[in-house]
Amino acid sequence: MENFISHIKSNPDSSFDIQTNDEHSSGVASLAESFAAEFGFGEWGRAMGLLHDKGKEKVDFQNYIRSVSGFSDKPLRWDDKTHAYVGALIAKQIYGTLSDVMTNQIAGHHAGLYDYADLKDVMQKQLPADVDCKIETLPLDSHSLTRVTGSEEVNHLWRMLYSCLVDADFLDTERFMDVESFRNRGNHTTMKDLKNKLDSKLIEFKNLPDTSVNKIRQQVQDECHKASDLPPGFFSLTVPTGGGKTISSIVWAVNHALKNGKRRIIIAIPYTSIIVQTASVLKEIFGEENVLEHHSNNDLEIIRDDHLRHRMKLATENWDYPIVVTTNVQLFESIYSNKPSACRKLHNICNSVLILDEVQTLPTDFLQPVVDSLKCYQHLFGVSVLFTTASQPILSGIIEGCNPRSIFHGIDSIYEIIPEGMNLHEKLKRVELDIDNNGKTYDEIATALVMHDRVLCIVNTRRDAKELFDRLPDEGIKIHLSRMMCPAHIGKKIKELKEALKNDGNKVIRVIATQLIEAGVDIDFPVVYRQEAGLDSILQAAGRCNREGKQAICPTHVFSLSKEHPLSGSAIKDANYARLNIIGERDWFAPETMTEYFRYLYCEKTTFDKMDIKHWLYKPEEMCFETAAKEFRMIDDKGANVIVNWENSMELVERLRLDGVSYQLMKKLSLFSVSLAERDFLEMKKCGLVEEVIDGVYVVGGIDQYDEYVGMKTGNHWMEEVLIK
């Protein structure tokens, strides 16, 4: 054949545009080289790009693409159109043992990175006789591999190179097939531009009232500004609730990025409710056009500007944006993914500043692989990491659990930005804990709550939230918040709550909520009740009490529902047990008390790697990327998501029936979904309440199954699972 075709595009006049395989391979090679050069592997990226589609020279593939595109005016026959394996075989032939760094990436650039045994099978295939194996051989620098200092880093290097290849492949294909989208990509705002916007906003803060709290917030900002001059590494910002942690962390991040030549700022947050709030603050400072939200509850359709909306959608694919706000789940499950769509963003984490907000929420069952990935990204890929929280966990040193094999290997050195002598926990103290470990009933707690006109009560389970809510009198503003409500409903209720707290000064306001409101949500109550839990959760709940310091000292009451039932969920039981181990008179808000709590918590752990990710990935010759990706799930999703009947959700379901699946439609529908426990889902399905609209998409359309106040109704029993989302 005169020209090997890589892509074909049909035109309205029935003509065709052709991208040759040489053109595509060259384009991918240039992009992959530029991406991989960020961490010193530019030529490796180029080599993968040149080889990845050599298999398209097969007669079978050429017949296939000519036939299905309509380019050929006569039928052509093909038997095997697969092509990715061919480039991997050629890499092995021309680069020898050095090819081990790239064969999995090339062979899996469509299907995903393979487990080692499956890759071995792929590499047993024969090179097609109709493919020319002559190709430019690059002088790969094996010395760059010496930067890999531990077996736990190898899988991340392999995956990062994979990210460079697959994003380059996507982008070059888009450059030919969809020119408008390719031109709309990216955001060229510089870190200097961001600093100018930030500095302008900080000038406004200087005009705030000269209160003691505002003085402390300014001191925290000053410390962050000083620490931003330090070289890349690991940092922590431990600031009690109300100390201006969000703004101060951004002050550090922008200045640190500018000082050290970092390309972007990525902020990972555990809860979507906090993401919306944080993103709103960032957009006010830097402009909506510079802040990308990437999480399940983000509806891009609310962006009025068509051009900006399109750019945002494209940016969620590969995070090519100056500021990205996302979830811990999105970040770390991408870091351990094997799929092209999830991995393509990883190379844009290189040479960035990463802020992990509310870091105490990182699941201890995955703490070792999470910390291992952070250590690798800092060492190999130039990422500076900032841990922010009011309750700093122990992430450095070595900690042994109760199982002799359970040893947590932490980070060697973390620089705490706030000097110990500042004593922020004392200066910002606005709450006293009143801890009662004696068991109570629902009625007893409800009676205590009714004694207050304004009160927030946080419990561990959806069932407990429903039981207490039902016992409160219908007076004033009475709000229930749990994941039995869909995200759109939760967002509406939180907005209603904030407006009520701000404007309804004399109204009764009582709120029963699960942990979804515990951390980061900017609300202020004169009294808070918190069901027994870990000390970190209790202090987070206390952060919703007297938040603005309008009164001297306010109470947060800690209570037990053991008269009703034992604590649900092993994680919450372990955390509560660690808290109970702290005996004697203590300052519960002191950093040393929090350190003692986490030591008790970690020492009781039987594993810091629940799914044995180390086994699947830490042997370089036997890495199982696909298996590890399936095992690394930070949230247990054994239940089923269903779309509920609330507001206009059924209109969207009807669009789904008529038009089928689309990215934007599924994003909209996710705002109306609720996760059900498996037993509830199966029971409702058995009763005919659940309909499968299309494959894997379930709807509970009955209007009687969704309550305006408490959300999804599942009969007379409620989900017992602890909400850790």
589-620: pLDDT as tens digits: 999 999 999 999 998 888 999 999 999 999 99
Higher pLDDT, 486 or 723: 486
Judge if 13 and 144 occupy the same domain: yes
Instruction: Name beta bridge partners: 641.
Output: 675
Residue-level pLDDT at 725: 32
Final residue of a structural domain among 132, 158, 181: 181
DSSP3 helix / strand / coil % (the chain, rounded to 5): 50, 15, 35
Cβ atoms of 407 and 603 within 8 Å: the answer is no
Render 576-628 in DSSP notation, one character per residue.
HHHHHT--SS--TTSHHHHHHHHHHHHHT-S-S-TT-HHHHHSSGGG-BHHHH
531 with 557, same domain: the answer is yes
Higher pLDDT, 179 or 296: 179
- The number of folded domains in the chain is 4
Are both 312 and 380 inside the same structural domain? Answer: yes
> Is there a domain that residue 399 lies in?
no
Between CA 683 and CA 390 the distance in angstroms is: 42
Amino acid occupying residue 677: A
pTM to 2 decimals? 0.90
301-313 pLDDT per residue, tens: 555 566 566 666 7
Provide the residue range defining the domain that includes 438.
430-588
Nearest-angstrom CA–CA distance, 702 and 650? 10
How far apart (Å, rounded) are the C-alpha atoms in residues 501 and 524? 8
Residue 314: pLDDT over 90: no
Q: Are residues 688 and 553 in the same domain?
A: no
716 has pLDDT over 50: no
Do residues 693 and 657 make contact, with C-beta atoms less than 8 angstroms apart? yes
Strand partners, 699: 643, 691
613 occurs within a structural domain: no
Is 172 found in the same domain as 76? Answer: yes
pLDDT of the residue at 667: 80
Six-digit token pair at 333? Answer: 């499950």
Residues 166 and 207 in one domain: no
pLDDT value of residue 60 = 95
Given this model, what pLDDT does residue 520 score?
67
- Tally the residues of the chain: 725
* CB-CB contact of 457 with 469 (8 Å): no
Same domain, 416 and 274: yes
633 in a domain, yes or no? no
Closest CA to 407 of 372, 456, 360: 372
Whether residues 259 and 292 share a domain: the answer is: yes
Instruction: Mark whether 388 and 252 lie in a shared domain.
Output: yes
Instruction: Give how far Cα 708 sits from Cα of 162, 329, 655, Å.
Output: 47, 29, 24
Q: Assess if residue 602 is contained within a domain.
A: no
* CATH number for the domain harbouring residue 485: 3.40.50.300
Predicted confidence (pLDDT) per residue in 101-120, tens digit: 999 999 999 999 999 999 99
Distance (Å, whole) CA 699 – CA 674: 10
Give SS3 for 354: strand
As a whole number of angstroms, the distance between CA 587 and CA 593 comes to 7
Whether residue 143 sits in one domain with residue 37: yes
Q: Is residue 720 part of a domain?
A: no
pLDDT tens column, 152-211 = 999 999 999 999 999 999 999 999 999 988 988 877 899 999 999 999 999 988 777 777
Shared-domain flag, residues 265 and 168: no
> Are residues 301 and 273 part of one domain?
yes
CA–CA gap between residue 461 and residue 459 (Å, rounded): 6
Last residue of a domain, one of 161, 181, 201: 181
pLDDT, tens digit, for every residue of 383-427? 999 999 988 888 998 887 776 778 899 999 999 999 988 989 888
**Does a structural domain hold residue 311?**
yes
Q: Give the integer Cα–Cα distance in Å for 223 and 507.
A: 40
Asked whether the beta carbons of 625 and 348 are under 8 A apart, the reply is no
> Would you say the C-alpha torsion 558, 563, 564, 570 has a positive or negative sign?
positive
Let me know if residue 721 belongs to a domain.
Answer: no
Backbone angles phi, psi at 189, to 5 degrees: -65, 130
| Angle value at C-alpha 264, between 188 and 34, nearest 5 degrees | 70
Neighbours of 36 (CB within 10 A): 27
Say which residue the tokens 């010395």 belong to: 143
628 falls within a domain: no
697-700 and 706-707: which strand pairing? unpaired
- Which domain-ending residue is among 181, 205, 233? 181
Query: Of the spans 255-269, 590-604, 679-693, which averages the highest pLDDT?
Result: 255-269
